[in-house]
Amino acid sequence: MSKLQVRLNNIYQFATHDDVFSLKEKISSCQRQVEEKSGKGNDFLGWVALPAEVSDELLRNIEKVANELRAKSEFVVVVGIGGSYLGAKAVIEALGNSFGMFANGTKVLFAGNSICEDYHAELLKLLDNHTYSVVVISKSGTTTEPAIAFRLLKQHLEMKVGKTEAASRIVAITDQSKGALRKLADTEGYRTFVIPDDVGGRYSVLTPVGLLPIAIAGFDIRKLVEGARQAMNDTAASVPFEQNPACLYAAARNALYAKGKRVEIMVNYTPKLHYLTEWWKQLYGESEGKENKGIFPAGVDFTTDLHSMGQYIQEGERFIFETVLSVETPSQKLTIPNDPDNLDQLNFLTGKRLSEVNHMAELGTIVAHNDGGVPCIQLSVPELNSYWVGYLLYFFERACAISGYTIDVNPFDQPGVEAYKKNMFALLGKPGFEEEGKVLRKRLGI
């Protein structure tokens, strides 16, 4: 059936049907708060109607700029971190060829999502011998990691092609009027796209933040938005709890949380979903983890990680539950060949598709983990394409907002992220942080 399936039968040994459905009133009221913009952080709810509001003009403009950058670049380097990085990375990895080769020849690279010297030095060395453009993304315009990476790339590109040509190869995505990046873009004459005021970083994948890099990588952003629009309709407050996938998922995970299951592991059976899990981890971690509350979001890639984390999940501490995200039909076809020697004794699999073996591994693991005390929420989509990835993005955003309200936190702020920045600046001797720097040095013994 062509819809997102939410199956809960493998959690009912741990949180019963009644436990889940007793949350119906609470979840429905949180759902109304999202839609009526009446809950905490309600000035950051611009993402709720975004799939219906993305204009054709904006999409055309994004496609035009994407085509222009692709025409003149072997690589496009996307600079950003957190919500200004993970959405685009997740979609490009999910939809792309496993080895990162795209038919149109342009490859998207990422920078500024760490301060790793080796990574950035190696990137600049690679770019020495190739044509490239840069898309720099920062809502605040002041985030340290992308600002450092952009300094390096701006200088490198200007040296390589000259200041005027470099300016034509740089696109900035930032606030309409505030922040250092806006100022720089206006001064240098870069083309810009705006991140709406009422859309926070981790909810911004359906704005130019995600859409431009995804279009540059050659994927259909219109289908992505179409899928998100369908998810918006399917998860609206008017859809009854029992048929609303976002409500059911939010209720199930909160019912398990109430039973002491404090860690949710997102499980996939295709490496293409690795970064969708990373995006999901940021979305849920930053949205729910505050005031000493919130389910800890973790992720594994199966069957790969059955040979690393599988042991812990099967027999370790029993505070975890899994959410398995499956793709029903793979886009490629490969069968297992016969081997006359049969030394590995796998001839009973001859002629079977790898996807069938993978699916049986999935079902076998769910039962094994259930027997080992791990509840398992099951989500599945028919295919891994632009439409269904767009659907999943919106579905997870909607369920996350509902879930955050269910535990009574503001799912749209991230005050805790500031703590490391303050200390890092103090240790680096930023003017105005001298006293904190001394205290920290003493504490660290440096």
Return the residue nearest ligand PA5 (CB atom). Answer: 201
Q: Does 288 bind ligand PA5 (CB under 6 A)?
A: no
User: Please, are residues 273 and 331 in contact by the beta-carbon 8 Å criterion?
Assistant: no
Using the rule CB under 6 A, is 84 a contact of ligand PA5? Answer: yes
Please select the residue that binds ligand PA5; options are 202, 253, 281, 290, rule is CB under 6 A. Answer: 202
Contact 167, 189 (CB under 8 A): yes
Contact between residue 166 and residue 156 where contact means Cβ atoms under 8 Å apart: no
Nearer to ligand PA5, 44 or 257 (CB): 44
Q: How far is the CB of 370 from ligand PA5 (least distance, A)?
A: 34
Q: How far is the CB of 192 from ligand PA5 (least distance, A)?
A: 14
Looking at 50-131, which runs of residues are DSSP E strands? 75-79, 107-111
Q: Which C-beta is closer to ligand PA5: that of 172 or that of 248?
A: 172
Count of residues in contact with ligand PA5, rule CB under 6 A:
14
Please identify, using beta-carbon distances, which residue of 294 and 375 lies nearer to ligand PA5: 294
Q: Which of 93, 145, 264, 286 is catalytic?
A: 286
Q: Among 200, 210, 297, 404, which residue sits at the site for ligand PA5 (rule: CB under 6 A)? A: 200
HSE-CB of 46 using CA atoms within 13 angstroms: 16
User: Which structure tokens are listed for 16?
Assistant: 């019963």
CB of 331 to ligand PA5, least distance (A): 30
- Residue from 70, 89, 107, 139 touching ligand PA5 (CB under 6 A): that is 139
| Of residues 383-422, those binding ligand PA5 (CB under 6 A) | 414
CA distance 42 to 1: 35
Give the Cα separation of 134 and 430 in Å (integer).
28
Shortest Å, Cβ 207 to ligand PA5: 11
E strand intervals along 256-338:
263-268, 296-301, 320-327
114 lies in the site for ligand PA5, by CB under 6 A = no
**Single residue of 146, 196, 210, 294 touching ligand PA5 by CB under 6 A:** 146
**Residues 249, 6 contacting (CB under 8 angstroms):** yes
Least separation in angstroms between residue 181's CB and ligand PA5 is 8
261 among known catalytic residues? no
Annotated catalytic residue 25 = no
In whole angstroms, the minimum distance from the beta carbon of 138 to ligand PA5 comes to 3
CB-nearer residue toward ligand PA5: 196 or 200: 200
The whole-angstrom separation of Cα 146 and Cα 162 is 22
Is residue 73 part of the contact set for ligand PA5 (CB under 6 A)? no
Q: Report whether 234 contacts 249 (CB < 8 A).
A: no
Q: Is 317 assigned a catalytic role?
A: no
Q: C-alpha 372: how far from its chain's center?
A: 29
Phi/psi-derived region of residue 283, left when phi > 0, alpha when psi is between -120 and 50, beta in every other case: alpha
Find the binding residues for ligand PA5 in span 243-262 (CB under 6 A): none
Least distance (Å) from ligand PA5 to the CB of residue 143?
Answer: 3
- Catalytic annotation, pick one of 421, 422, 434, 438: 421
Among 6, 20, 54, 81, indicate the residue that binds ligand PA5 (CB under 6 A): 81
Q: Long-range contacts: 14-21, Cβ < 8 Å, 24+?
A: 14/256, 14/259, 14/261, 14/321, 14/373, 14/375, 15/252, 15/255, 15/256, 15/258, 15/259, 15/261, 15/375, 19/255, 19/258, 19/259, 20/248, 20/251, 20/252, 20/255, 21/241, 21/251
Q: Which residues are catalytic?
A: 286, 307, 421
Positions that interact with ligand PA5 (CB under 6 A): 81-84, 138-140, 143, 146, 200-202, 286, 414
